[in-house]
């Protein structure tokens, strides 16, 4: 009898133990991204998929960009800027170690900055470092960076994935085996299939809730939908199939969060080529575009109309959609004034993403209404970069410019828009030399207005971030002010 009771009690205790452990929150996560990165070194490639995995999870910079786009301290716990805006002194966190056990010191920061701006550097955003004249270690935890000219965006630039701090010991092998300072350590990359990270037990900052994270690479929109529905993955932070979102919105198992990105989707126009060099022709194109119809058709209603090259969630954004409102009659009148009463023929080169291919069909239909007859030419990415971007061999194309705060490209003389405006360049030069935030916002507003009035490109919509994940999962970013899947705050609620 006694033995029976004790067996019963032991059983009850076991059952209790099992139920309580079943109630402990999950600590693993499998999420998916659409494209597989070519490698895992964010300082040597432009692929957004690299930052999707490593930025702020494995690698960290002096500063970081927060979920709302603000510049926050990261490896540098504080900094000071000289009055002339030329000297930045960063104070590093004490006790930071890389995943291979070596400790972070000022020498690593100097190494990383020098490496990124060296002659043989293959950093995809080398321009971020162009203002740096020298970087030196004052002591183990203090770095002094001297600029050759004031650069108002310098702290922001240092928060990009391309500006993360790497160690000289591991810099050359980061492509295959990334070694950083972040809350997660790299475990394994099964090429073509998945990448796995695990919690860094020696992390210098606030410990993370997840023990193990697996990234799957799923490019096919139908497969992405199926993987979520089957429960193979628990999150798709940038879901590639807007057509399937409605099906998740009605399902209580999932959270659907529609946010914004830094992707200005535009009808890029070759301003250096006839007839697009004529402002009236560009204005006519702008008047012929019905943005909402494009958003509905290409993105199934997801996306915010824009009237300039700037993200609507940015505090300096100006609403300029009504600069040239949809008005086919006015468009035809402008074409006639420009000497094309019967319209003209041109080409529209479309890269592979669905927003471009689907959007292109609608843009072509809308321009045909006013007499502009577009021949659609689908191109691959590599062809697009070669023909459109490098050789400027195009009339019109549709592309999303996903780099954050990239309005400065309109000041580049050799850029593929072939747009040249002294007024714009002057505003940009002034912006570069300005650190005061209110003054910067004012200059950014002026810049947005100049390119909107010049109708440099057809401004269509801001690319949305379609986030779909398990309803019990919290802490993923809603917006995408910078390419990242920051997992430091992600946790399960049950």
Partner 1 sequence: MLSYALRRIVIVVITLLAASVVVFAVLEIVPGDPARLMLGINATDDAVAALRQQMGLDQPLVLRYFAWIGGMLSGDFGRSYTYSVPVIDLIRERLVVSLPLALMALALSTAIAIPVGVFSAARRGTAADTGVMAATQLGIAIPNFWFAILLVYVFAIALRLVPAGGFPGWEAGIGKALAALILPAIALALPQAAILARVTRSALLDVLGEDYIRTARAKGLPARLVLRRHALRNALIPVLTILGLQFAFLLAGTIIIENVFYLPGLGRLGFQAITQRDLIVVESVVVLLVATVVIVNFLVDLAYAWADPRLRRR
The residue range among 211-219, 237-245, 248-256, 483-491 that interacts with partner 1, by the rule CB under 8 A, is 211-219
Q: Are 472 and 492 in contact (CB under 8 A)?
A: yes
Q: Under the criterion CB under 8 A, does residue 226 sit at the interface with partner 1? A: yes
Rounded-to-integer distance, Cα 52 and Cα 35, Å = 10
Output the smallest distance, CB 391 to partner 1, in A. Answer: 9
Nearer to partner 1, 33 or 62 (CB): 33
**Smallest distance from partner 1 to CB 194, Å:** 7
Q: What is the 3 state secondary structure string of 416-474?
A: CCCCCCHHHHHHHHHHHCCCCHHHHHHHHHHHHHHHHHCCCCEEEEEEEEEEEEECCEE
Shortest CB 227 distance to partner 1, Å: 5
Min dist. Cβ of residue 381 to partner 1 (A): 6
Is 494 near partner 1 (CB under 8 A)?
Answer: no
Q: Contact region for partner 1 (CB under 8 A) — 32-40, 105-113, 287-295, 472-480?
A: 32-40
Q: Is 252 exposed, middle or buried (0-12, 13-18, 19+ CB in 10 A)?
A: exposed
Instruction: Of 134, 80, 75, 78, give the one whose Cα is nearest residue 110.
Output: 134
CB of 337 vs partner 1, minimal distance in Å:
34
Kindly tell me which of 336 and 385 has the beta carbon lying closer to partner 1: 385
Among 133, 190, 423, 429, binds partner 1 (CB under 8 A): 190
Residue that is written with structure tokens 């972070």 in the block: 104
Q: How many residues bind partner 1 (CB under 8 A)?
A: 49
Which pair of structure tokens corresponds to residue 243? Answer: 């057509």
What is the enclosing helix (H) or strand (E) of 201? none
Q: Identify the H or E element spanning 345.
A: strand 344-350
222 binds partner 1 (CB under 8 A): yes
How far CA 301 is from CA of 1, 87, 244, 465, in Å, comes to 70, 47, 12, 13
Distance of CA 228 to the CA centre of its chain: 23
Query: Among 315, 352, 429, 437, which residue interacts with partner 1 (rule: CB under 8 A)?
Result: 352
Q: Determine if 217 is a binding residue for partner 1 (CB under 8 A).
A: yes
Q: What is the CA radius of gyration of the chain?
A: 25
Neighbours of 331 (CB within 10 A): 26
Nearer to partner 1, 16 or 187 (CB): 187
> Which residue in 97, 103, 125, 146 binds partner 1 (CB under 8 A)?
125
Instruction: Closer to partner 1 by CB, 416 or 459: give it.
Output: 416
Q: Which is nearer to partner 1, 226 or 279 (CB)?
A: 226
Which residue from 94, 136, 220, 319 is in contact with partner 1, where contact means CB under 8 A? 220
CB of 124 to partner 1, least distance (A): 4
Instruction: Confirm or reject binding of residue 177 to partner 1 (CB under 8 A).
Output: no
Q: Which tokens go with 271?
A: 């301003």
| Span interacting with partner 1, options 81-89, 217-225, 296-304, 336-344, rule CB under 8 A | 217-225
Residues 362-381 that bind partner 1 (CB under 8 A): 380-381
Peptide bond between residue 473 and the one before it cis (omega within 30 degrees of 0): no
The answer to whether the CB of 64 falls within 8 A of the CB of 58 is no
Q: CB-based contacts of 8: which residues, under 8 Å, 6+ apart? A: none
Segment contacting partner 1 (CB under 8 A): 9-17, 36-44, 283-291, 445-453? 36-44
Q: Interface with partner 1 by CB under 8 A: which range of 17-25, 103-111, 212-220, 286-294?
A: 212-220
187 near partner 1, rule: CB under 8 A: no
Binding mask 398-437 for partner 1 (x = CB under 8 A): ---x-x--x--x----------------------------
The distance of closest approach from Cβ of residue 355 to partner 1 in the complex, given in angstroms and rounded to an integer, is 16
Q: How far is the C-alpha of 72 from the C-alpha of 175, rounded, in Å?
A: 26
247 binds partner 1 (CB under 8 A): no
* Coil vs helix vs strand at 4: helix
Helix (H) or strand (E) holding 230: helix 221-230
Distances (CA, A) of 98 to 58, 185, 194, 209, 210: 10, 9, 23, 20, 19
Q: Is 383 in the site for partner 1 (CB under 8 A)?
A: yes
> Could you list the residues that contact partner 1 (CB under 8 A)?
36, 38-39, 45-47, 119-127, 175-176, 190-194, 216-220, 222-223, 226-227, 229-232, 352, 380-383, 385-387, 389-390, 401, 403, 406, 409
């Amino acid at each position: 009898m006694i033995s029976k009771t004790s067996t019963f009690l032991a059983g009850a205790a076991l059952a209790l133990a099992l139920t309580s452990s079943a109630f402990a929150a999950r600590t693993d996560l499998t999420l998916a991204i659409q494209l597989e990165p070519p490698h895992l070194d964010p300082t040597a490639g432009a692929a957004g998929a690299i930052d999707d995995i490593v930025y702020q999870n494995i690698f960290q910079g002096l500063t970081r960009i927060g979920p709302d786009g603000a510049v926050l301290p990261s490896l540098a716990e504080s900094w000071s800027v000289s009055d002339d805006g030329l000297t930045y002194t960063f104070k590093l966190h004490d006790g930071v170690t890389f995943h291979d056990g070596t400790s972070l010191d000022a020498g690593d920061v100097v190494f990383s900055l020098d490496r990124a701006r060296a002659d043989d550097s293959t950093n995809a955003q080398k321009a971020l470092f162009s203002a740096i004249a020298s970087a030196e270690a004052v002591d183990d935890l203090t770095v002094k960076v001297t600029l050759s000219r004031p650069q108002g965006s310098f702290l922001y630039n240092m928060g990009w994935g391309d500006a993360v701090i790497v160690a000289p010991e591991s810099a050359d092998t980061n492509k295959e085996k990334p070694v950083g300072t972040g809350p997660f350590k790299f475990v394994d990359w099964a090429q073509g299939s998945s990448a796995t990270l695990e919690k860094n037990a020696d992390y210098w900052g606030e410990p993370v809730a997840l023990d193990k994270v697996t990234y799957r690479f799923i490019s096919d929109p139908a497969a992405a939908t199926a993987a979520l529905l089957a429960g193979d993955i628990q999150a798709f932070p940038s879901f590639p199939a807007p057509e399937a979102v409605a099906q998740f919105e009605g399902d209580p198992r999932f959270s659907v969060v529609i946010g914004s990105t830094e992707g200005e989707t535009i009808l890029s126009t070759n301003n250096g080529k006839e007839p697009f060099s004529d402002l009236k022709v560009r204005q006519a194109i702008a008047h012929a575009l019905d943005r909402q119809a494009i958003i509905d058709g290409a993105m199934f209603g997801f996306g915010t109309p824009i009237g300039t090259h700037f993200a609507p969630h940015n505090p300096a954004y100006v609403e300029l959609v009504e600069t040239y409102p949809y008005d086919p009659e006015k468009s035809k009148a402008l074409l006639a004034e420009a000497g094309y009463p019967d319209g003209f023929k041109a080409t529209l080169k479309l890269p592979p993403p669905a927003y471009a291919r689907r959007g292109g069909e609608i843009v072509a239909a809308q321009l045909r209404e006013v007499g502009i007859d577009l021949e659609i030419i689908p191109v691959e990415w590599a062809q697009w970069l070669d023909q459109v971007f490098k050789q400027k061999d195009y009339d019109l194309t549709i592309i999303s410019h996903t780099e954050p705060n990239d309005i400065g490209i309109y000041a580049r003389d050799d850029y593929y828009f072939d747009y040249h405006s002294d007024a714009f360049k002057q505003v940009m030069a002034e912006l570069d030399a300005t650190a005061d935030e209110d003054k910067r916002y004012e200059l950014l507003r002026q810049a947005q207005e100049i390119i909107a009035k010049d109708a440099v490109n057809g401004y269509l919509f801001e690319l949305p971030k379609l986030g779909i994940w398990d309803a019990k999962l919290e802490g993923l970013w809603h917006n995408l002010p910078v390419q990242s899947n920051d997992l430091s705050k992600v946790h399960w609620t049950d």
